[in-house]
């Protein structure tokens, strides 16, 4: 049989990438229009500032340093997007990544500050805490038929206030922030392995970043190459078929939520064990990181490798937003623009359908042209 040549545009990954880029582009344009409406004078500059992020610095050493800072915060975002993605592939919507992230903060910082554990123990503690929290939602769904979205949202708040209580025991006396790792337990800071030096001695650039990327690859391998991934994706695509062929749906469901939770809480450890941030024990809102993970997962086309790019992008414009002139625009402007882009992600499918329709028509025309050419040839 003759193998038909297929257009590169037919490739699913290429389509996802194109669609995501289109979302970003339209999002930036709409964002620009919104900035124009708010304050026409600074709109052009503001949008450029957001896109440029660390490039606003003229010195290359400063640029590198702040690229490093963006990367430091990309790692946890990537982990949260992997968490959402992993559950989503198995047909679950883990809106609890935010709460699992908080549990990761609590477990890792408490181990580091109260017990003086080394970083790898703290990291493990965070993973276990998130896995347990995820498993609770999984258990509730498997045995009590509680929708995971409901239980996750409630657990988000439960974990936030529990962690606030827990970490209040290791906070500074004069402020609501937890003690710094560098003053209390330097052994809990993740090793830099010389990576910091590459980014103009940015001390917060550690193994956390390559570790997060490694996890993304591992998640991809698990989902695509292993028996476990085969079962989880089958359950996600069609749980009835999964049951029909004897997959253990309940066990798989709990396992999925546990792994998903572990990914999110590991993300928290990858940020807090660099010493980049301290936890504010009076926090009354779940940190946005877990929810942004949902956005990053979808913008990345629900592909673990796509998540790496999308997480970086979202973090890039979020950081960029910090440089916008605050006298003209409010501090939330970058959140606003990333929200626009994410909103436009809804058009990814629309874009794919339109593109495929166009390709179909083109192929058909070509076929018809070939046919008439052939018929013409036969007639001669």
Least distance to another protein, CB of residue 357, Å: 5
Least distance to another protein, CB of residue 236, Å: 9
- Choose the stretch contacting another protein; rule: CB under 8 A; options: 22-30, 53-61, 240-248, 279-287: 240-248
Task: Count CA atoms within 13 Å of residue 358 on its CB side.
Answer: 9
Identified binder of another protein from the candidate list 115, 161, 230, 350, rule CB under 8 A: 230
Residue 37's nearest CA partner among 358, 333, 335 is 333
Q: Which is nearer to another protein, 167 or 258 (CB)?
A: 258
Structure tokens at 188: 């809990």
Q: Which residues contact 329 (CB under 8 A, 6 or more apart)?
A: 35, 38, 39, 42, 46
Q: Which is nearer to another protein, 240 or 284 (CB)?
A: 240
Residue 282's nearest CA partner among 168, 148, 131 is 168
Least distance to another protein, CB of residue 351, Å: 13
Helices (H), 238-299: 239-244, 249-272, 289-299
Q: What is the DSSP letter of 380?
A: -
Identified binder of another protein from the candidate list 225, 362, 367, 368, rule CB under 8 A: 225
Rg of the chain over Cα atoms, rounded to whole angstroms, equals 24
Residue 263's nearest CA partner among 237, 227, 289 is 289
- Choose the stretch contacting another protein; rule: CB under 8 A; options: 60-68, 212-220, 226-234, 369-377: 226-234
- Choose the stretch contacting another protein; rule: CB under 8 A; options: 174-182, 191-199, 227-235, 311-319: 227-235
- Choose the stretch contacting another protein; rule: CB under 8 A; options: 128-136, 187-195, 239-247, 303-311: 239-247
User: Binding mask 257-296 vs another protein (x if CB under 8 A, - otherwise)?
Assistant: ----------------------------------------
Contact 234, 246 (CB under 8 A): no
Identified binder of another protein from the candidate list 120, 243, 302, 343, rule CB under 8 A: 243
Task: Count CA atoms within 13 Å of residue 158 on its CB side.
Answer: 12
Q: Does 226 bind another protein (CB under 8 A)?
A: yes
Angle between helices 227-237 and 208-225 (to 10 degrees): 70
For residues 254 and 258, what is the distance between their CA atoms, to the nearest angstrom?
6
Helices (H), 169-206: 181-184, 195-198
Residue 51's nearest CA partner among 299, 319, 288 is 319
Q: Which is nearer to another protein, 194 or 246 (CB)?
A: 246
Q: Which is nearer to another protein, 29 or 241 (CB)?
A: 241
Q: Which residues contact 210 (CB under 8 A, 6 or more apart)?
A: 195
Least distance to another protein, CB of residue 2, Å: 13
Angle between helices 289-299 and 304-321 (to 10 degrees): 120
Structure tokens at 15: 């389509």
Residues 340-369 that bind another protein (CB under 8 A): 353, 356-357, 360, 364
Q: Which is nearer to another protein, 37 or 245 (CB)?
A: 245
Identified binder of another protein from the candidate list 238, 282, 330, 332, rule CB under 8 A: 238
Q: Which is nearer to another protein, 59 or 227 (CB)?
A: 227
Q: Is 117 helix (H, G, I), strand (E, B) or coil?
A: coil
Identified binder of another protein from the candidate list 22, 34, 55, 233, rule CB under 8 A: 233
Handedness of CA 104, 109, 115, 120 (dihedral sign): positive
Tokens 């193998």: give the residue: 3
Q: Please tell me the count of residues contacting another protein according to CB under 8 A.
A: 23
Q: Does 244 bind another protein (CB under 8 A)?
A: yes
Q: Which is nearer to another protein, 33 or 349 (CB)?
A: 349
Q: Which is nearer to another protein, 9 or 353 (CB)?
A: 353
- Choose the stretch contacting another protein; rule: CB under 8 A; options: 92-100, 123-131, 136-144, 245-253: 245-253
Structure tokens at 100: 């699992």
Q: Is 108 helix (H, G, I), strand (E, B) or coil?
A: helix
Least distance to another protein, CB of residue 6, Å: 9
Q: Does 242 bind another protein (CB under 8 A)?
A: yes
**By the criterion CB under 8 A, which residues form the site for another protein?**
225-228, 230, 233-234, 237-238, 240-248, 353, 356-357, 360, 364
């Amino acid at each position: 049989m003759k193998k038909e040549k297929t257009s590169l545009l037919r490739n699913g990954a290429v389509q996802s990438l194109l669609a995501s880029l289109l979302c970003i582009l339209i999002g930036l344009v709409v964002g620009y229009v919104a900035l124009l409406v708010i304050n026409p004078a600074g709109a052009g500059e503001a949008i450029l500032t957001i896109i440029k992020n660390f490039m606003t610095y003229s010195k290359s050493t400063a640029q590198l340093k702040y690229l490093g800072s963006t990367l430091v915060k990309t790692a946890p975002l990537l982990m949260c997007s992997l968490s959402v993605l992993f559950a989503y592939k198995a047909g679950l919507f883990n809106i609890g990544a935010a709460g699992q992230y908080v549990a990761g903060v609590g477990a890792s910082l408490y181990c580091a500050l109260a017990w003086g554990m080394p970083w790898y123990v703290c990291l493990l503690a965070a993973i276990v805490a998130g896995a347990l929290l995820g498993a609770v939602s999984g258990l509730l769904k498997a045995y009590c038929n509680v929708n995971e979205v409901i239980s996750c949202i409630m657990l988000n708040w439960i974990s936030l206030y529990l962690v606030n209580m827990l970490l209040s025991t290791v906070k500074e006396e004069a402020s609501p922030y937890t003690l710094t790792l560098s003053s209390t337990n330097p052994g809990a800071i993740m090793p830099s392995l010389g990576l910091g030096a590459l980014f103009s001695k940015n001390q917060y650039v550690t193994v956390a970043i390559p570790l997060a990327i490694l996890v993304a690859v591992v998640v991809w391998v698990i989902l695509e190459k292993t028996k476990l991934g085969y079962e989880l994706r089958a359950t996600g695509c069609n749980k009835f078929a999964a049951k029909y062929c004897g997959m253990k749906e309940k066990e798989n469901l709990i396992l999925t939520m546990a792994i998903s939770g572990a990914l999110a809480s590991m993300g928290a450890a990858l940020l807090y064990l660099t010493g980049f941030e301290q936890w504010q024990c009076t926090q009354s809102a779940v940190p946005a990181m877990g929810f942004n993970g949902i956005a990053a997962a979808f913008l990345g086309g629900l592909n673990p490798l796509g998540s790496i790019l999308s997480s970086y992008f979202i973090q890039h414009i979020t950081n960029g937003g910090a440089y916008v002139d605050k006298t003209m625009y409010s501090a939330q402007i970058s959140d606003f623009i990333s929200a626009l882009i994410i909103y436009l992600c809804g058009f990814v499918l629309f874009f794919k359908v339109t593109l495929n329709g166009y390709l179909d028509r083109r192929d058909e025309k070509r076929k018809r042209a070939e046919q008439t050419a052939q018929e013409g040839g036969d007639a001669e």
